[in-house]
Amino acid sequence: MHRSRLGTVVIDCQTADLDRAAEFWAKALNRPASKPQDPADQNYRELQTPPGEIVVAVQEVQHPSRVHIDIETDNLDAEVARLEKLGARRIAFVKRWWVMEAPTGQRFCVVRPQRADFANGANEWS
């Protein structure tokens, strides 16, 4: 048995000024942006959302701008295998997560739990 849930909406921005991009989205969504503490994650800005609301992150990327989702899971291998059975395919393992592609072409990530309340509302899979 493992669990998973929609965790984050990531706004991918092909930009040389991540802070300016994050400022736009922070003002557009009325959510202050913050820099992560981990030096390895400096290409992200997280918008402050109320507890229980989906996390929104702004990410500096090299590919064209788009939006993608992250699926949180407490068992990365089991969730990736479940999604592959549904027709998704693995694209790349990055740092500590999988980039996947849906049968319809959208890219998304499968990540470890990102929020302390992960178990609340997570789906259980056998």
CATH number at residue 95: 3.10.180.10
pLDDT digits over 61-95, tens only? 999 999 999 999 999 999 999 999 999 999 999 99
Provide CB contacts within 8 A for 76, sequence distance 6+. Answer: 97, 98, 110, 111, 112
If one counts the domains in the chain, the total is 1
Give the DSSP H or E segment for 67.
strand 66-73
Q: Is residue 61 in a domain?
A: yes
Q: Can you tell me the distance from the alpha carbon of 112 to that of 62, in angstroms, rounded to the nearest whole number?
A: 23
- The chain-wide mean pLDDT, for the chain, equals 95
> Is there a domain that residue 78 lies in?
yes
Instruction: Please state, for a pLDDT cut of 90, what percent of the chain lies above it.
Output: 89
Q: 125 in a domain, yes or no?
A: no
pLDDT at 52: 81
Domain-located, residue 124: no
Position 26 pLDDT exceeds 90: yes
Q: Report if residue 104 sits inside a domain.
A: yes
DSSP string, 70-87: EEEES-HHHHHHHHHHTT
pLDDT score recorded for residue 27? 97
108 pLDDT band, cuts 50/70/90, is very high
Residue 111 DSSP SS3: strand
Is residue 64 a part of any domain in this protein?
A: yes
Question: pTM for this structure?
Answer: 0.89
The model's confidence at residue 53, banded by pLDDT at 50, 70 and 90, is confident
Per-residue pLDDT at 58? 97
- For residue 103, pLDDT beyond 90: yes
**Domain residues for 108?**
2-118
- State the Cα–Cα distance between residues 37 and 47, nearest whole angstrom: 14
Whether residue 29 lies inside any domain: the answer is: yes
How sure is the predictor about 10, in pLDDT bands with cuts at 50, 70 and 90?
very high
Q: Is residue 56 part of a domain?
A: yes
The yes-or-no verdict on residue 120 having pLDDT over 90 is: no
